[in-house]
């Protein structure tokens, strides 16, 4: 390695550390507006003051590029993947896009436009002993706020619109995934009161590649499933899904077997949660979450099918994953936002008052169901029912 390449590697690592350590703490919870504004002002002033102090001290230090004079064969150790959010809760909004371009069109047929087919909030507890998964029905009627588009213009706010319209609105005519994710996050935050820290958009071929990289997902179906529209034809009983079959299973909404007769998005969410359970068990059964050398190639293989927010680089994703190595898959209890049939449209749903208990638990970093807080009280007043 040359002196120049050593300096580049060192500066890259230093920049990554600076960005991670300088990230201001993000407020959580629905609090009184005055208290929230005051807390935000104090936090921002504290961060800016610390930054000014650091710059002042750093300016008085003479920096010497010692590495330039070291031998070219001196090894430069790569730091291990790190969880940049260590010690505090982390909420990631994961969106599966049904965009039908390129290889995605080969998998499911070419269709114009871009939409979010699945949205799941992944909440990691501060101590990294719990992972909460909350599925958001795409047919939910919600308020979509004004969103900034790629060209700098702003979309008009919409009342009582379908939740997954936010993704399409943000994507605009150019299909911008960052703007699509941002509009979906804004919509989720405004309607739930839960702040999201990061986001991930997963394309169709990303699901396929993840499953194939893991060697498939073992599934045990109570009955055969047949969905011509999704291209799913699987028998009953134990079997291993490959990536393409997994994708068809996740997309299937109509057909026969395992609830397909209902043609319901809520029934599909239940099936998706079944697969998430199986996928978590499969990951834990391998050495994926114990060996960075195994994890990094898998993440690298699927990264081309992911669009992630700035705080979730490849090494950050790996670092977060490695901190979850001791989470028992049996403790995963995916839930769906509590909904009821929309009065205005039987094919749409609205969030019920029970959803408020869900948001309060998430904001308090408390288990979503069943377990009391440390002082013996229930933070939300009622348990949230998990999906069957």
pLDDT (tens digit per residue) in 6-35: 433 433 333 333 323 333 333 333 333 333
Give CA angle at 365 (362, 368), nearest 5°.
Answer: 55
Q: Please, which residues have CB within 8 angstroms of residue 312's CB and are 6 or more apart in sequence?
A: 92, 198, 200, 320
Mean pLDDT of 308-321: 85
pTM of the complete model: 0.71
Of 271, 265, 281, residue with least CA distance to 246: 271
72-81, 101-110, 291-300: least confidently modelled range: 101-110
Work out the pLDDT band at 264, boundaries 50, 70, 90. confident
> In the chain, which ranges are E strands?
90-97, 116-124, 131-135, 141-144, 158-162, 198-202, 217-221, 225-227, 232-234, 237-241, 306-308, 335-336, 339-342, 345-351
Q: What is the pLDDT of residue 76?
A: 67
Q: What is the pLDDT of residue 31?
A: 30
The more confidently predicted of residues 375 and 92 is: 92
C-alpha 152/C-alpha 170 separation (Å) is 11
Polymer length of the chain? 388
Token output for 357: 């208990």
**Which three-class secondary structure state does DSSP give residue 374?**
coil
Cα dihedral: 382, 386, 387, 388 (round 10): -110
Backbone CA torsion sign across 344, 190, 114, 349: negative
Running DSSP on this structure, what letter comes out for residue 303? Answer: G
Token output for 203: 């394309």
The more confidently predicted of residues 170 and 24 is: 170
Q: What is the pLDDT of residue 195?
A: 96
Mean pLDDT of 94-105: 63
Q: What is the pLDDT of residue 371?
A: 54
Mean pLDDT of 86-111: 68
C-alpha 348/C-alpha 217 separation (Å) is 32
The more confidently predicted of residues 263 and 35 is: 263
Query: Which run of H or of E encompasses 279?
Result: helix 265-285
Mean pLDDT of 129-158: 95
Strands 232-234 and 225-227: antiparallel
End-to-end CA distance of the chain: 56
Work out the pLDDT band at 96, boundaries 50, 70, 90. confident
Is 306 in contact with 202 (CB distance < 8 Å)? yes
**Which three-class secondary structure state does DSSP give residue 336?**
strand
Work out the pLDDT band at 323, boundaries 50, 70, 90. confident
Of 122, 114, 121, residue with least CA distance to 97: 114
Mean pLDDT of 311-326: 84
The pLDDT mean for the chain works out to: 77
Q: What is the pLDDT of residue 134?
A: 95
Above pLDDT 70, what percent of the chain? 72
The more confidently predicted of residues 145 and 49 is: 145
In the block, which residue shows the tokens 């994708």?
A: 247
The more confidently predicted of residues 77 and 198 is: 198
Q: Which domains does the chain have, with CATH numbers?
A: 3-69 (no CATH), 90-214+286-363 (3.40.630.190)
């Amino acid at each position: 390695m040359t002196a120049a390449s050593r300096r580049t590697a060192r500066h890259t690592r230093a920049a990554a550390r600076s960005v991670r350590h300088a990230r201001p703490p993000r407020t959580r919870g629905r609090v009184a507006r005055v208290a929230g504004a005051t807390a935000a002002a104090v936090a921002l002033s504290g961060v800016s003051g610390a930054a000014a102090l650091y710059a002042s001290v750093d300016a008085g230090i003479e920096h010497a590029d010692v590495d330039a004079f070291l031998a070219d064969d001196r090894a430069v150790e790569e730091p291990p993947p790190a969880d940049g959010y260590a010690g505090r809760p982390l909420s990631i909004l994961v969106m599966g896009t049904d965009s039908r371009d390129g290889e995605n069109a080969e998998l499911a047929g070419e269709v114009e436009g871009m939409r979010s087919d699945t949205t799941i909030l992944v909440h990691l507890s501060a101590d990294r002993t719990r992972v909460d998964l909350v599925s958001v029905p795409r047919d939910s009627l919600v308020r979509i706020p004004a969103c900034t588009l790629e060209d700098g213009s702003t979309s008009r706010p919409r009342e009582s619109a379908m939740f997954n319209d936010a993704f399409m609105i943000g994507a605009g005519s150019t299909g911008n995934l960052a703007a699509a994710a941002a509009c979906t996050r804004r919509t989720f935050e405004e309607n739930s009161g839960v702040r999201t820290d990061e986001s991930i958009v997963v394309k169709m071929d990303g699901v396929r590649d993840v499953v194939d990289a893991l060697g498939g997902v073992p599934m045990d179906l109570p009955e055969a499933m047949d969905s011509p529209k999704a291209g799913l034809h699987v028998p009953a009983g134990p079997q291993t899904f490959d990536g393409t079959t997994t994708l068809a299973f996740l997309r299937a909404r109509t057909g026969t077997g395992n609830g397909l007769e209902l043609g319901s998005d809520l029934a599909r969410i239940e099936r998706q949660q079944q697969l998430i359970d199986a996928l978590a068990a499969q990951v834990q059964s391998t050495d994926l979450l114990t060996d960075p050398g195994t994890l990094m190639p898998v993440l690298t293989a699927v990264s081309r099918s992911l669009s992630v927010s700035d705080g979730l680089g490849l090494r950050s994703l790996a670092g977060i994953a490695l901190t979850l190595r001791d989470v028992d898959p049996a403790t995963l209890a995916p839930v769906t936002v509590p909904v009821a049939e929309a009065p205005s449209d039987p094919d749409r749903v609205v969030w019920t008052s029970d959803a408020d208990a869900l948001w309060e638990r998430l904001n308090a970093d408390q288990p979503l169901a069943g377990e009391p807080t440390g002082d013996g009280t229930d933070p939300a007043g009622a348990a949230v029912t998990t999906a069957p």
